[in-house]
Amino acid sequence: MSQVSAGSEVVASRRQWLSRCFWSAVALVTAGIVGPLTGYFVGPLLRRRADTRVRLGAVSDFTADRPQRVEFVLRQRDGWVTEEGRHAAWVVRRGAEILVFDPRCTHLGCAYHWHAETSQFLCPCHDGLYDLEGRVVGGPPPRPLDTYAATVEGSDLLVVPTPRRRG
């Protein structure tokens, strides 16, 4: 009697041990596959785009307080493709400071233009209005115009055409 129960205990513990082996192996292999795949999948979070600087022209090309729209060709890498695309920016020279705006309204991304009579940027979609420094003065835009990081090297104006939010 006691022998039988001891035997069934051995069977039970062997069964338990094998179950543990099975689930441990499953866990290890799953982790070994899911780990790299997760890293690969969320890779875009880990990778930063290299910022390319573009020359927009000589500083002397721009008149103070008169916004100018500048078009430029940007060559940039998108994953495994190097693409050349036409882009634009608005350049405003305010004394020693130079502001470069992303050419899209912060409301819904329409292209705005400069209205010289009122000295305001006007977005044709929903009548968003910005002043010379890109601050919202009317309409639905939620925040001032986005800017590009601008630097002056020698006489050249260089920008990194990646929009940065203000305020």
Q: How far is the CB of 81 from other proteins (least distance, A)?
A: 6
- Residues 56, 158 contacting (CB under 8 angstroms): yes
For position 48 contacting other proteins by CB under 8 A, the verdict is: no
Q: Examine residue 116 and tell whether it contacts other proteins (CB under 8 A).
A: no
The token pair that represents 35 in the structure block? 């780990």
Task: State yes or no: residue 91 binds other proteins (CB under 8 A).
Answer: no
Closest CA relative to residue 114, chosen from 99, 55, 86, 163 = 99
Q: Which is nearer to other proteins, 22 or 165 (CB)?
A: 22
Residues 6 or more apart from 68 whose CB is under 8 A from it? 61, 62, 90, 91
Q: Which of 10, 37, 64, 137 binds other proteins (CB under 8 A)?
A: 37
Q: Which residue has the tokens 């729209």?
A: 69
The yes or no reply on residue 73 touching other proteins (CB under 8 A) is: yes
Token pair, residue 167, equals 């305020």
Question: Residue ranges of the alpha helices (H) in the chain?
Answer: 2-41, 43-46
Q: Does 1 bind other proteins (CB under 8 A)?
A: no
- Residues interacting with other proteins, by CB under 8 A? 15, 18-19, 21-22, 25-26, 28-29, 32-33, 36-37, 39-43, 46-47, 52, 54-55, 73-77, 79-82, 84
